[in-house]
Structure 1
Amino acid sequence: MFNPTRDQARRFFFDAWQKYRERQPLSDLEAIALDLMQQHPEYHTIFDNPERYAERDYLPDAGETNPFLHLGLHLAIREQLPIDQPRGIAAHYRRLLEKTGSAHDAEHLIMDCLAEMIWQAQRQRTQPDPAIYLDCLEKC
């Protein structure tokens, strides 16, 4: 399993954006990331200015959304869906897609559950529990 540092994860997004701007070829994962970045125009200024935003902290207590975390969660979901891992997530996605009528909105609902699972694991100092993730998705 790849476990990048904060700097490596941010650099991945900055590099994909730069390649896009310079019309360079993208890896498959970079292409997925670019699609997500294009769906979030509110973040384009950030990706255009890595020297300004690479080290910036985003404080949820101040009502800030971390764009790198947000896109990283989208990316994780996009990797989980084709392999249905955890088992059942693809069915939940299809149900949420039908409910919302939007792939992006369905991913946002899933993202809330993924974030909840991660938060619970951090709080309890345990491995992420897919049952928490899937239980949350049942309630969406």
Structure 2
Amino acid sequence: MFNPSRDQARQFLFETWAKQKQAAPLTDLEKVALAVLVRHPEYHPIVDAPERYLERDYLPEFGETNPFLHMNMHLAIEEQLSINQPHGIGELYRSLCLQTGDEHQAQHEMMDCLAEMIWQAQRSGRGPDGEFYLACIRRKAGLPEKA
């Protein structure tokens, strides 16, 4: 199972960005990561300066958004969509895309649900609840609750 450390996950994004700038070949996963990076030009100065940002902490109590967490949540959603896990997420994503009119915005809506699911799992001491996650996405898409 792939379980990178915080620094390894960040290094992956730094290296992907550097390879793109050098026109070096990318792996399939790097291509997905690059697509996420391209959609976030506000983070380009960060991935351009690994020596400055590799070890930086982003504290929500100071109103800071963690760009690495944000981009890696996009990667997690991309992976979920590519394998349709949890089952049915692809269909819900398409519904959310229709409602928002934008694939990127739809992923941001899903990200809210993913973060909530993770928070609930941590709070309860249980594993992630895929049904909770799907129900949240369903609500955001304006779909009725599953019977």
TM-score range, shorter chain: over 0.9
Q: Distance in 2 between matches of 1:117 and 1:60?
A: 18
Unaligned runs of 5+ in 2: 141-147
Unaligned runs of 5+ in 1: none
- Aligned residue for 1:33? 33
Identity, % of aligned pairs?
59
Alignment of 1:41-60 (within 5 A): 41-60=41-60
Give the CA deviation at 1:101. 1.2
- Aligned residue for 1:62? 62
Per-residue deviation, residues 35-64 of structure 1 (Å, max 9, x unmatched): 110110100000010000000001112111
Per-residue deviation, residues 104-131 of structure 1 (Å, max 9, x unmatched): 0111111110111111111222211111
- Aligned residue for 2:101? 101
- Aligned residue for 1:118? 118
Post-superposition, which runs of at least 4 consecutive aligned residues in structure 1 deviate over 6 A?
none
User: Secondary structure, in 3 states, of the residue corresponding to 1:57?
Assistant: coil
Give the CA deviation at 1:82. 2.2
- Aligned residue for 1:89? 89
User: Secondary structure, in 3 states, of the residue corresponding to 1:24?
Assistant: coil
Give the CA deviation at 1:79. 0.7
How large is the RMSD of aligned CA atoms in angstroms? 0.9
| Matched residue count | 140
User: Secondary structure, in 3 states, of the residue corresponding to 2:2?
Assistant: coil
Counterpart residue type for residue 89 of structure 1: I
Counterpart residue type for residue 112 of structure 2: D
Normalising by the residue count of structure 1, what TM-score does the alignment of the two structures yield? 0.97
Q: Distance in 2 between matches of 1:39 and 1:138?
A: 25
User: Secondary structure, in 3 states, of the residue corresponding to 2:65?
Assistant: coil
Counterpart residue type for residue 60 of structure 1: P
